[in-house]
Amino acid sequence: MKIIDRLENITQPFKNAVITIGNFDGVHIGHQALFHEVVEKADAIDGTSIAMTFEPHPMRVLKKNNHPPLITLYEQKAELIERSGIDVLVCVPFTRDFASLSAEAFIKDLLVAKIGMQAIIVGKDYTFGKNREGNLTVLESYASQMGYEVIVADWIKAGQNFPDRISSTRIRELVMAGEVEPARKMLGRHYQIRGLVVKGRDRGGRLLGIPTANINLQDELCPRTGIYAVTVDYHNRLYKGVANIGYSPTFDDNEFTVEVHLFNFSSDIYGEKIRINFIERIRDEKKFANISELSAQINQDIETAHKILAAYDT
């Protein structure tokens, strides 16, 4: 997949461009279905499949501090879009000047003249342009004049347990509630956080005999505090483990940490980047009377995680 992060780098229109546009936060199964439709349409007309997104997220520019945490930062979003088979990702630097572009100019100057749009595939509620003045009606009103096709994608549901439309907002709520399995059904994959392994307080190995990797989070959206069965992606290998998110109430220091114990793992990974996939929430954090009680509970959590992960193919 070719990534274009500046519109000036597009020197000529793409061949028979088929495009979809959005923030695609989470790159959930609804987004994936949209990308699949774009790829199929592009294949049918011997064209180029294109996804256009924005960085930073428009909410960061337009609403400053009044915005929710992102499900996927740009790095992961680009990786996931590439997996869908899209030919080109156009990441538009989002500014207030860009936000002031009229709907007509957005279509005529950017999508048609610069991108070479032959077809656009979007959801029913798609809006664009200054003050969101653009919508499906506007897109369709220029279609014959400017020579492109408008295709409206159907909303995707995650199954009988999720009768409502899949949305980034709903996924965000589920992750923040610790409901990582329902979130997985909407994402089409386990929710993942990324970060660097940093020096911690050395309590796991020194006091409890259970070494843990402390994570300096890269992601904004962190699951609810508690204990989770996880897998960890490190150097393109998956390791099973158990993660703790929270404030270590037994030690009364109120410092928020994310730490993970990897099963059958002894390598030094300080300074390394790892990815943690959340499989299932085991329990809430709890304050124990002493270290012995805490150690016993952690060993029970490890046993529980082993059982949960036994059927998980690494």
Residues recognised as catalytic? 259
Token representation of residue 56: 């930073």
Distance (Å, whole) CA 217 – CA 98: 31
Give the closest residue to 71 by CA, choosing from 118, 124, 25, 5: 25
148: nearest Cα among 126, 115, 101, 103:
115
Does a cis peptide bond (omega within 30 degrees of 0) precede residue 13? Answer: no
* CA-based nearest residue to 72, from 83, 85, 87, 88: 83
Instruction: Tell me if residue 39 falls in helix, strand or coil.
Output: helix
- Contact by Cβ (8 Å): 61, 67: no
Q: In what order do the strands lie in the sheet with 149-152?
A: 2-4, 88-93, 48-55, 17-21, 117-122, 149-152
Residue pair 126/91 in contact (Cβ under 8 Å)? The answer is no
Cα separation, 114 vs 272, whole angstroms: 41
Half-sphere exposure of 267 (CA within 13 A, CB side): 9
> What gap in Å lies between CA 71 and CA 247, rounded to an integer?
22
Q: Is 234 left (phi over 0), alpha (psi -120 to 50) or beta?
A: beta
Question: d(Cα 30, Cα 26) in Å, to the nearest integer?
Answer: 10
